[in-house]
Chain A
Amino acid sequence: MFRFFLTRLLTFVPTFIGVTLISFAFIRVLPGDPIIVMAGERGLSEARYQELREQFGFDQPLIVQFWDYLTGILHGNLGMSYVTKKPVWDEFFALFPATVELSLCAIVIAICLGIPAGVIAAVNRGKFFDRALMSTALVGYSMPIFWWALLLIIVFSGNLGWTPVSGRIDLLYYFPDATGFMLIDSLLSGQKGAFASAVEHLILPSIVLATIPLAVIARQTRSAMLEVLGEDYIRTARAKGLAPIRVSGLHALRNALIPVVTVIGLSVGVLLAGAILTETIFSWPGIGKWMVDSIYRRDYPVVQGGLLLIAGMVMIVNLIVDLLYGVINPKIRKR
């Protein structure tokens, strides 16, 4: 087990270097100069411009800049935001809980609806429910996120007035961050209505963000279940006189779970990408919105560091998924 863990960690090294390089190159390929952007409409003098260039190290050759950046990372230093002058690391972890809260809600929705839907569809293969569900999943999968988000906002916030349009909680409430998770903090604050407000704010963005993973999970569960339902051990389970719900929900699902857990793991990457859009649309103060804003400001350290940290998170999630395989199916544990 320990060796497995170690080898997996080693495979992170090339990925890590790759991400560092790409994030470094990506932001520099974009046209636009951070100093000019920072100066804004006031503009700045040539002398001041050169001074700032030196200060940020832009006068150095790219390779030197990259080297400085890399050695910084190895010392745990991701640099400072040009704009806020705060360490990228601090900013990331200040905003990260908001994104985690949103993503967790979305993935929980996607799992709790997607797996049962896939199981029911597989058990009723070819019947009405199966077809209806799979067409819906296809629609959900191919729907543009921003369009879907706007549609929901118009209907539920605009026409019906059920949900707020943006933010994490109503401005009425104020309490200090304890955990960074609004659902928990609002409860801890003890203020009446704070929790309900947090939930209301969370609903629409979670649904929007859950849509694609939900469709993917439902489809994957269905196809994995269809494969498993034909296996001999399912016949054995039924021959024992077990109820159908136990046969499909335990004997079949447990075996079908491996590919499903794989897509859930992969969804985390998709989810963080989706979070960028969703957070922007709903003004959700998470790392997605932070990244987009930083790209507009050409805030190099933030974009670089943010991408790196996001990649790190995705890698960690996938490592956890790999470890889960062995827990789900003991046959895999052996290898």
Chain B
Amino acid sequence: MALLSIRNLSVEFSTAGGPFRAVDGVDVTVDKGEILAIVGESGSGKSVSMMALMGLLPWTARITADEMSFDGTDLRSLTARQRRQVIGRDISMIFQEPMTSLNPCFTAGFQIKETLRQHLKLDRRARHARAIELMEMVGIPDPARRLNAFPHQLSGGMSQRVMIAMALACQPRLLIADEPTTALDVTIQAQILDLLQDLQKSTGMALILITHDMGVVAETAQRVQVQYAGQKVEEQPVRALFETPHHPYTAALLAALPERATERRLPTIPGVVPGQFDRPEGCLFSPRCRFADDICRHRAPPVQPPALGIARCHYPLDTAATEAAR
């Protein structure tokens, strides 16, 4: 049985300009101890779908799903209070901006211990010991002293380590890392990714890694799901996805990778993700797709079988076509 199973998740925001569907029928499945990467350009609904799972969206969001279960528990049936017992304990999340994600008014130690106090029955001394242990675990030197540091006294990398320590405090079974390295220096990025991978291995938790970076996906994940404009457009094991992308969008993302780009092709995909007011009819990718035809532009594409990467496309690429596309 999958650890996390979400089927047909949709999130609709009511905005001043009318309803906006930021997530549109997304499925997410994660097994115990697995690393799933979710990739896609800005605005493809990656964060929103995970925030929906965490229950962190504002009240303007209307969340619907056919299934949303974690370890056999139907999250939809939980009261807000029951949900808060899962959040931060069994499922935890770290975010893109470590510097602003810690509360400037409280010490790192206070913020780590707060999670422990919320979910575990530990006394003061045990919490202190556990906090130091966690700081050590995430590679913070001199933890006893750093416990008393305020966020403004920590670098970005250190802050993200504190965030990770906080997220791991109660030994979660699923960690969601939403672009955990985007805001950091390149050298620190690699360190944090390594740390996450090591921790995932040593704790056996499942990890959902949200990223823009196909390179990171290749190095880290076991399975990848590609999101575009609020929809899941493809899902495959990493190796297979890199070898044979079935959706033209995935193919374009891969072609944008520096090692793969030929001299002639630009390393980015022309055009932008459609927003609230410029959603095309038919396939959402059609304005930017080099294979688009009239059918694509007028009819929503079907979802292909797993053999074709569950691709949401009228004309999924097979090996030959992928080769031709390069």
Chain A residues within an 8 Å CB radius of B56:
235, 238-239
With A232-B95, A330-B150: A239-B103 Cβ-Cβ less than 8 Å: no
- Which one, B95, B104, B119, contacts A241 given CB within 8 A? B119
Stretch at the interface among B6-14, B80-88, B191-199: B80-88
- 8 Å CB interface, A317-335 against B: 328-331, 334
**A248 to nearest B CB, angstroms?**
13
Chain A residues within an 8 Å CB radius of B81:
243
- Chain A residue nearest in CB terms to B169: A240
- 8 Å CB interface, A229-269 against B: 231-233, 235-243, 251, 254-255
**A249 to nearest B CB, angstroms?**
13
A251→B151 CA distance, assembly (Å): 14
- Asked if B68 CB lies within 8 Å of chain A CBs, one says no
Interface size class of B (residues with CB under 8 A): 20 to 34
- Which one, A233, A241, A255, A334, contacts B87 given CB within 8 A? A241
- In the complex the two chains form, is A240's CB within 8 Å of B114's CB? yes
- In the complex the two chains form, is A330's CB within 8 Å of B104's CB? yes
Chain B residues within an 8 Å CB radius of A237:
103
A242→B81 CA distance, assembly (Å): 9
Chain A residues within an 8 Å CB radius of B118:
240-242
- In the complex the two chains form, is B115's CB within 8 Å of A330's CB? no
- Asked if B97 CB lies within 8 Å of chain A CBs, one says yes
With A239-B56, A239-B88, A241-B86: A255-B97 Cβ-Cβ less than 8 Å: no
- 8 Å CB interface, B102-146 against A: 102-106, 114-115, 118-119
- In the complex the two chains form, is B101's CB within 8 Å of A242's CB? no
With A329-B105, A331-B152: A233-B100 Cβ-Cβ less than 8 Å: yes
- Asked if B214 CB lies within 8 Å of chain A CBs, one says no
A238→B92 CA distance, assembly (Å): 11
- In the complex the two chains form, is B101's CB within 8 Å of A241's CB? no
Contacts A232-B101, A239-B87 known; list 4 others, CB within 8 Å: A233-B102, A235-B95, A240-B114, A241-B86
Chain A residues within CB distance 8 Å of chain B: 231-233, 235-243, 251, 254-255, 328-331, 334
What are 12 A-B pairs with beta-carbon distances under 8 A? A231-B100, A235-B95, A236-B95, A236-B101, A238-B87, A240-B114, A240-B118, A240-B166, A254-B106, A328-B105, A329-B104, A330-B152
- Going nearest first, the 4 A-B pairs with the smallest beta carbon separation are A241-B88, A240-B88, A232-B100, A233-B103
